[in-house]
A and B are shown apart, each in its own frame.
Chain A
């Protein structure tokens, strides 16, 4: 009994927490009854509320969890831009292609973040022999600006300090030398012969070697900085003039760091030209009308489902609807926490999962009715109903989860979808099914048990 009540309060707690998380950040409650209606004075509530939990910010050691709790909507629901870039990898050796693409991806992501657009998804994709880059930006109206921003190829350049300065006070003090990524032939991770530590080796073209020799000559004992897209990578101190056209960047690199830097340098050195092959601009205003209608229709459908459940199963149906409301609150709270960017296929996945949650309830109720018809007392029938229905609920839902797993492709197998709407669908359906198992089995059952207890006493 104690266990049961604890479970009940846990459900109440989760529901309230879910409800709070689901609230919009700011909302206004307006309530007005004119004096004539109640024969007293005007009754008016008009107040703006702020969600009690404005954001979640948890820091435990290295673990950092931050969520702003604003709903994330995909470009199909909120509008935005979907861009696909095709990389021209002809000039790059086959074995270097994926590293080069990875570098391009990192640069572009940084560029967009610097530009101040959040919630951007940038990922590389390989279609057959073609290397591509998919960029999804929700809510950007100006596609041309986004393309310009992304389409610039990575720029690597070497900078020196002005003559009079000896120590850099900030990276802004460095001035361009004219030596850029175009002069770099290759960069790779090497190991220092004396210390065995990883270093990054640079190899310049003959022209670049000349420039580099001059730069190093006039900067001995001073810093020379390497910038990537206006972003300082490193600023080593020149030890001696270098005429061979080869240089190493030493520093306390780990192998990973050296590898990363080398990738970035290669991207600057071998800028992979990219061009837009797919461009989708979906104005929010366009989708909004259709979405508004659909939300209204969805609500009407929902009311019909609720009426049907209560009409057909009476009291049980009402409890099931309570379970479904809790299910809805928890699911949307989870979407905000993960966060899941909602798209139309995602909503379809959610609706299907609601259908399956209803199904679990119906299965249980039909079993209960059967047991009751067989003459079992109500609370026994209830427990039996849950037990008997469980096998079919489990097997049916596991089949759905299998489908979700393959469609979501968590291991990024290249022969399956690695991006896009199919994954969104699989994610919301999968999450929905898992949660519906929880609400169908734990929540509805607990509510039923609590209520049947009250009946008995």
Chain B
């Protein structure tokens, strides 16, 4: 298969996926959960069960400022509020119980300082950049060529950008918030992406040794063909797992698993269709430049 002949098609597909996400990221950013911006989460269970509308009315009557009110599948309600004191929380609970004539059970009371989120993000970004740097050097050293390292890292950022972009869109249209678990999903995507890319690159390296005179593009085609079945099979096993979790798993981890799923699909796609074509383009430019000299 002459996979690399269609490299501009792959770049176009990537661009089509990436651009809306990047646009959304610039325009709307990410919808940060209170993990990042700080605030209070309250979760109450009312006995007997109350309708969401009833609670909203009471909240309005009491003049409590809330960001959002969500009903969970278990029948409890999640309130998101600006940061409040413990005493204030108790008061809200008491008033709600009185107004709704119901027994209120507090399932959650979380106060989250905003600085922690920023700190975590900052440190994680530093960690990612550091890890990317180390991986770049390692791959460049193992493959005896810096372009392998750089292209692997580019594919890795491509995948995280896909996930980030998608969640920016999801945040804007479906009000999906990103939380600390999302950070884990991004990290998983990064690790998976590099792992997958290295396997494909390994085939190019091997063929280079055996057929030193064959043009690079052909070696790339050969490597992609040889690893296609393995890539699909491997990703399918992970996708089976994640799909089961998205469809049947608990509410609390649904978006987390969705992020993982998208990351895995993108990570699988990017190895033969981003990392390798980038390598081929780079190699062609290099040869052209050398010829001119």
Give the B-binding residues of A (Cβ under 8 A).
84, 86, 127-128, 130, 143-144, 276-283, 285-287, 289-294, 296-298, 300-302, 304-305, 308-309, 312, 344-345, 348-349, 351-352, 354-356, 358-359, 362-363, 366, 370, 388, 391-392, 395-400, 402-407, 409, 415-417, 420-422, 425, 429
Contact = CB atoms under 8 A, between A and B. Distances in A.
A301 B191 contact: no
A319 to B, nearest CB: 16
A28 to B, nearest CB: 26
A289 B131 contact: no
Given A84-B113, A278-B112, A359-B195, 20 more contacts: A278-B111, A279-B110, A286-B74, A290-B250, A292-B250, A298-B245, A298-B249, A301-B244, A304-B244, A305-B240, A358-B234, A358-B238, A399-B198, A400-B194, A402-B135, A403-B194, A407-B124, A407-B131, A416-B126, A422-B183
B237 A293 contact: no
A289 B116 contact: no
Given A406-B130, A407-B131, A425 B115 contact: no
Interface residues of B, number: 68
Interface string B217-256: 0000000001001100110111011111101111111001
Interface string B244-278: 11011111110010001000000000000000000
B185 interface: yes
Contacts of A421: 180-181, 183-184
Contacts of A143: 109
B230 A417 contact: no
B243 to A, nearest CB: 7
A294 B260 CA distance: 15
A300 B244 contact: yes
Contacts of A277: 111, 113
Contacts of B123: 415-417
B107 A283 contact: yes
Most buried by A among B124, B187, B203: B187
B134 interface: yes
A308 B116 contact: no
B43 interface: yes
Nearest to B260: A348
A366 B195 contact: no
| Candidate in A127, A283, A400, A402 with the most chain B CB atoms within 10 angstroms | A402
B234 A362 contact: yes
Query: Which of B43, B86, B233, B247: most chain A Cβ within 10 A?
Result: B233
A283 B198 contact: no
A259 B241 CA distance: 53
B138 interface: yes
Nearest to A134: B116
Given A279-B110, A301-B242, A293 B234 contact: no
